[in-house]
Amino acid sequence: MGEFNDVLAKTIDESKQGEALSKNILSHKPIQKHFYIESYGCAMNFSDSEIVASILSENGYGVTNDYFEADLILLNTCSIREKAEDTIRNRIQVFKKAKRKNKDLLVGVLGCMAERLKGKLLEEEKLVDMVVGPDAYRTLPALIAEAKGGQKAVNVLLSREETYAEINPVRLNQNGITAFISIMRGCDNMCSFCVVPFTRGRERSRDPETIVNETRDLVNKGYKEVTLLGQNVDSYKWKNEAGEIETTFAQLLEKVALVDPNLRVRFSTSHPKDITDDVLHTVAKYDNVCNYIHLPVQSGSSVVLERMNRTYTREWYLERVEAIRRIIPDCGISADVITGFCGETEEDHQETLSLMEIVKYDMSYMFYYSERPGTLAARKYEDDVPLEVKKKRLAEVIKLQNQHSLEGNKRDIGKVHTVLVERFSKKSENDLCGRNDQYKMVVFPQKNHQPGDYVDVLITDCTGGTLIGEAVN
Ligand code: SAH
Ligand code: SF4
Ligand code: F3S
């Protein structure tokens, strides 16, 4: 999921997170206890943490940014690559001291790693008191009560229906300008390398009315941008009681776009096998639907794509890119790429590089293959590309992408882009930054502008990752 992959796999800055939480949390009951939460992995996990925060706030929990003060420490975890799990195992150890200080402190592991390892996690990580899968968050209060009673608590049941549709998420990101909205859960695709279908269960779509209501609510609170989230948004479908499809993704996108013309709408992730011209025409039709599509390719070789069970070929993918270019002029395109998948030859790898040369992505999220236990690939294929080769190919992919990003950014010099200001630049307090329609980060001197403003910026310079400019309005 694009930005929404575990590129977001960074711990939220702890101090800022707490600040945000304490400001935003709408506690319906008096706060009696405090929880501390860290999120890892994709945007879906960050969005789920907001559902967890909502459920806990309804149960008398307020947030703290100091885990030494917490009664409950939660880690919302990711399993996508081995490294992601290693990070979390290391992180758990950090809470030892807090646990020694406060014997009543509970530590809970949520999310994908909880779902993958289930009760085994309790044996492996002695510090952990609760293991809660992504479809079991409504039972958190009961699990907390169980754990308080001295019993380790586990709920990793996956559901075919749960979408947390009516839960009003407590926003944990502090900017008050951009928000995620989950429109579906799970994934039915079974890409052979991927653990997500096992950790998130079957695909299910959320009632469109609740999505539109959540959007409206965000607009009323002053939000300026929403990102509709799903592992494969193009297969979103809401059915009526007779089982007929009532709302497709293209129709949902239109409904959300119509909520407010000043609200930017983004979505992620699109799947090359499912993205329809209808969706592309909807993006083109509405000014406030951003011209940016994250279209993971994974590999440029049809042979590898087949083994990956991606169910499209190189030619199919390139045709979809052509359709995007034809229907949405000026569309930003990004991808996910995996190097060194089982059986990948040097020739296959060259095909990935040549596909990148054809598409010239604005940006990519790039990884070397990490075998995940229980996946189709782990059972069927040998993880036979040596680590050095995986890494060497990854370095080549990254080098080429950096070149394309820089070339693409240079082409923007001299043009004016409308930027939604998100915050002050991390490097300078005199500069603001935000994204243009194509999702590129733009930095410019503040003058009289503020976070939340739409500002027209003339691009005067760039790096590979950022456009630099001057406000012109
Ligand atoms: N639903 C999204 C992807 C979710 S996972 C999609 O279909 O595109 C995000 C990215 O992580 C994937 O696109 C893939 O590039 C990468 N990824 C997933 N499993 C991986 C593995 N076992 N090793 C390395 N990268 C992996
Ligand atoms: Fe994983 Fe494929 Fe589903 Fe994406 S579409 S989450 S890569 S199985
Ligand atoms: Fe997301 Fe990681 Fe789970 S990428 S769906 S948090 S395995």
Task: Give pLDDT tens digits for 62-74.
Answer: 999 999 999 999 9
Task: Give pLDDT tens digits for 240-257.
Answer: 888 898 999 999 999 999
26 pLDDT above the threshold of 50: no
Closest atom of ligand 1 to 187 CA is 1
pLDDT of residue 341: 98
Q: Please tell me the distance between residue 196's alpha carbon and the centre of ligand 3 in angstroms.
A: 6
Task: Give pLDDT tens digits for 118-150.
Answer: 999 999 999 999 999 999 999 999 999 999 999
**What gap in Å lies between CA 212 and CA 180, rounded to an integer?**
13
Residues recorded for the chain: 473
269 pLDDT above the threshold of 90: yes
Q: Please tell me the distance between residue 5's alpha carbon and the centre of ligand 1 in angstroms.
A: 7
Confidence grade of residue 10 (pLDDT, cut at 50, 70, 90): very low
Residue of 228, 270, 367, 368 best suited for mutating to test ligand 1, as the one with most atoms within 8 Å of CB = 367
17 pLDDT above the threshold of 90: no
Beta-bridge partners for 407: none
How many other β-carbons are positioned within 10 Å of the β-carbon of residue 326? 12
pLDDT of residue 2: 38
Considering the domain delimited by 178-411, tell me its CATH architecture: Alpha-Beta Horseshoe (3.80)
CB contact set of 165 (below 8 Å; sequence gap of 6+):
206, 207, 210
pLDDT of residue 4: 37
Considering the domain delimited by 14-155, tell me its CATH architecture: 3-Layer(aba) Sandwich (3.40)
Average pLDDT, the chain: 93
Please, what's the b/e burial string for 341-372 (b: 16 or more CB within 10 A of its CB; e: otherwise)? bbbbeeebbebbbebbeebebbbbbbbbbbbb
Q: 285, exposed or middle or buried, with CB in 10 Å at 0-12, 13-18, 19+?
A: middle
The answer to whether residues 214 and 255 touch, using CB atoms and an 8 Å cutoff, is: no
Domain boundaries, the chain: 14-155, 178-411, 416-471
Please, what's the b/e burial string for 17-33 (b: 16 or more CB within 10 A of its CB; e: otherwise)? bbebbbebbebeeeeeb
Confidence grade of residue 28 (pLDDT, cut at 50, 70, 90): low
Q: Answer left, alpha or beta for residue 184, where phi above 0 means left and psi between -120 and 50 means alpha.
A: beta
Which of 333, 227, 230 lies closest to 288, judged by CA? 227
23 pLDDT above the threshold of 60: no
Tokens of 435: 């994204």
pTM, two decimal places = 0.93
354 pLDDT above the threshold of 80: yes
CATH topology of domain 416-471: OB fold (Dihydrolipoamide Acetyltransferase, E2P) (2.40.50)
Confidence grade of residue 348 (pLDDT, cut at 50, 70, 90): very high
pLDDT of residue 3: 35
25 pLDDT above the threshold of 70: no
- Around ligand 3, the residues with Cβ closer than 6 Å are 5-6, 41-42, 44-45, 78-80, 111-112, 195-196, 199-200
Q: Answer left, alpha or beta for residue 60, where phi above 0 means left and psi between -120 and 50 means alpha.
A: left
Decide whether any atom of ligand 1 lies within 6 Å of the 338 Cβ.
Answer: yes
Determine what percent of the chain is predicted with pLDDT higher than 70: 94
Q: Please tell me the distance between residue 303's alpha carbon and the centre of ligand 3 in angstroms.
A: 26
